Each structure stands twice: as structure tokens, then as C-alpha cells.
Amino acid sequence: MQGKNILLAVSGGIAVYKAVSLTSKLTQAGANVKVMMTPHSTEFVPPLSFQVLSRNDVYTDTFVEKNASVVAHIDLADWADLVIVAPATANLIAKMANGIADDMVSTTLLATEAPIWLAPAMNVHMINHPAVKRNLDQLYKDGVRFIEPEEGYLACGYIGRGRLEEPEKIIARIREHFEQESSRLLGKKVLVTAGGTRENLDPVRYLTNRSSGKMGSRIAEEAMLRGALVTLVTTIRELPVNEKIDVRYVDSADEMYQVVIAEQKKQDAFIMAAAVADYTPIEVSEHKIKKQGDEFVVKMKRTKDILAEVGQTKTNEQVVIGFAAETRDVEAGAKQKLATKKADLIVANNVLTEGAGFGTDTNVVTFYFANGKQMELPLQDKRDVAKKLIDEIETLLGLN
């Protein structure tokens, strides 16, 4: 972080005291830190505290120009290499999501082209409110990234998710960010699939599985952050996707097959994180199927094996990754997939393990490599799993 320009935006919550510590630690790490504060944040901590620790002026008012030769909020916006909003209150999040610029902080955030990271901090009920969730989703689509809050004892007396992440962990994330700026994946093409396919029975019913698409979307995001040109083929339309990712929405296994095969030869790496149906109904009724007695039999046929076809046709320069969601004999299933699909790496998990099932934000996986190597990852956030997987893809591509 030596010499990096970090703009810290502070909004009004009790967690402001952690922002003071963050300023100190960032400065000690060699970063150039400038702080801007909302009017409410100054009720918790005086600007002088940030001024002393950052060794820079603190900005609290859009109409107070400390240097007549520049416009302060534009100058700050252009100066920053990275903007950290900590703590980010529900009020400031709402302003950002809706493009409101009525103070120094919100105006500067609209003007900057630097990456913006939000570190929310609020009551557990507030962070789960539909309006706040809606605003966070919008900001994600706009390209803002998040430093997720911790679970623990909150100032309001509740215990739950909403505590501002500790300064040490925020700094670790910042270090990773600047390390990734010079990523070896810059310009490489990566294709990722995500979500469970839907196989129609009739106009109102379909067969599917529990896959949420979260793991695949985290992988796509991490590859994008490291400079890759990412195409995401997914069945999940509710997941927020960064505008830098080329997203292709599909429904059925056949639709996913068509898109993947059309794009596969252009890619440097292919990650098959989607849960594709193995079978699909032979016949799809034109109208809703009515009740037909005590039993109902659906005749099925095999779908095309996307991973196997990609693995068998890949070039020596391409890397192919598959996923294996198992409920028993995980190692045997993963090794069989490695052999039959001609993959370079299989990411396997037992979906019955707590924290590793479909729809969770965490995972417990083991990497099985074609060369016989194995790597077990303990319970961790899917973003961290994605980072380790992209590390291994860089190695497999010969970029390390």
C-alpha cells in the first residue's frame, strides 16, 4: 500500500471509532489517507482526530474550499486510488443507490471513478430491511464492492450481523486489492457457468435443483477483479452482476450447452460451476398437465454433458475446471469426474456438510487436481474459495 491514495468516507454511526483506528493503521502501512465526513459523523468523533492521524485536512463541507486553485470534491475524487466508506450507514447507502449528492461525502462519491468499497454498519434489523437490501443490490450492479459486516454484539444491544468489520481485516482486503491490480489474468478470457438448470414439464412446472449460483458468480467476480474478460452463463437472474461481466441468461441444460459450446474455443479457462440437470423430460406438454390418478410417470432422456465435451475438445493451452456436489464418497466421485471429463481440476464438496450446502454464503471444498494433488479448504466464505480457485487457475495457465 506504500504511496497509494486512499480516500476514507465516514458516515454517522457509533462505529466511527473504528474508522479512526483504520486511518491510523492505513497511514502506518504507508498509504496516503484523506478523510471526508458527513455532518452526523462529526457528532461522534471530531474531525481533528482524523486530521492528526492522517496528517491531512479533513473535508466536511462541500462549500468550504481549502485550496482556491481546485474544487475540493472533484480534486478528492480524482486523487483517490481507492475509496473506502466506513462505516456506511443505511442513510448514506440509500443516497448512493439513488444518486443523491447533498453533502461533501455523497457528492464526492458520485464524482469519483476510483473503486468504491462499502463497509456497512447498522442494526441487524436495518441491514435485513428490504429497502436496504434493494439499495445494496443496486450498488453492486453499479460496481460498488462490499466489506461484509461481522456478527456480534451491537451498540443497540442486539446480537447479530451488523458490526463494522475490524480495521485489520479491512486493511488485509485493501492489500489484496492492490496486489491484484497487476494480476496475471489481465486480458485472459474466462467462461464461468452458475446456477441450476430448469427442465420444463409444461408451461407452469419445471424440474430443477437447489443451486443458488452464488459460487459461480463469486468466481466470475474474482476473475473480473484480476483483469480477466469474463463471460458468465447463468440461470439465476436475481444475482447482482458487475457491468464489466458479459452475462448470458439461460434456462435449460440445452440452452446452456449451446452458449458454452459457441464460446468455449475463445476461452483461456472454463469453470463449470453450474448444476446442470442430467436428465430432461422427453416430452413437454403444451398445456398444464392435469391430475391423472395416483401415479404420474415422466419419461426422461439424458442431457448433453457440457463438461465432458469441453474437456475432450480443449486445447493444451486451455484450463477446464469442474464441480462435484456429492452427498457421500466425495473423493471417489471427484476422481471419477477428473478421469471421465478430462478436467484439470475438480472442486468437490459434500452438500450435507453444515455451511457447504446450496444457497449458503460459505463452502467447504477440496480441490482434486489431474496430477494427483489435493487441497482441502476449511469452512470459509465463497469469495475466499473463489480467490483460491483463481490462484490455482493462474498456476495451471503457467502465469506464476
Q: What is the pLDDT of residues 208-252, one digit of tens each?
A: 999 999 999 999 999 998 889 999 999 999 888 888 899 999 999
What integer pLDDT is reported at residue 156 of this predicted model?
52
What is the CATH code of the structural domain delimited by 5-180?
Answer: 3.40.50.1950
Give the model's confidence band at 151: pLDDT under 50 very low, under 70 low, under 90 confident, else very high: low
What integer pLDDT is reported at residue 66 of this predicted model?
81
What integer pLDDT is reported at residue 240 of this predicted model?
83
pLDDT digits (tens, 9 = 90+) for 367-378: 999 999 999 999
Considering the four listed CATH numbers 3.60.140.10, 3.50.50.60, 3.40.50.300, 3.40.50.10300, the one that applies to the domain covering 189-396 is 3.40.50.10300
pLDDT digits (tens, 9 = 90+) for 13-57: 888 999 999 999 999 998 999 999 999 999 999 999 999 999 999
Map the chain to HEC letters: CCCCEEEEEECCCCCHHHHHHHHHHHHHCCCEEEEEECCHHHHCCCHHHHHHHHCCCEECCCCCCCCCCCCHHHHHHHHCCEEEEEEECHHHHHHHHCCCCCCHHHHHHHHCCCCEEEEECCCHHHHCCHHHHHHHHHHHHCCCEECCCEEEECCCCCEEEEECCCHHHHHHHHHHHHHHCCCCCCCCEEEEEECECCEECCCCCEECCCCCCHHHHHHHHHHHHCCCEEEEEECCCCCCCCCCCEEEECCCHHHHHHHHHHHHCCCCEEEECCECCCEEECCCCCCCCCCCCCCCCCCEEECCCHHHHHHHHCCCCCEEEEEEEECCCHHHHHHHHHHHHCCCEEEEEECCCCCCCCCCCEEEEEEEECCCCEEEEEEEEHHHHHHHHHHHHHHHCCCC
**Given 74, 156, 172, 298, the catalytic residue:** 156
Of 69 and 26, the one with more pLDDT = 26
Across the chain, mean pLDDT equals 91
Same CATH fold, 189-396 and 5-180? yes
pTM for the complete prediction? 0.65
Give the model's confidence band at 148: pLDDT under 50 very low, under 70 low, under 90 confident, else very high: confident
Of 183 and 364, the one with more pLDDT = 364
pLDDT digits (tens, 9 = 90+) for 77-125: 999 999 999 999 999 999 999 999 999 999 999 999 999 999 998 878 8
What integer pLDDT is reported at residue 213 of this predicted model?
95
pLDDT digits (tens, 9 = 90+) for 343-371: 999 999 999 999 887 888 899 999 999 99
Is residue 154 predicted with pLDDT exceeding 60?
no
What integer pLDDT is reported at residue 69 of this predicted model?
80
For the chain, the domains span 5-180, 189-396
Q: Catalytic annotation on 366?
A: no
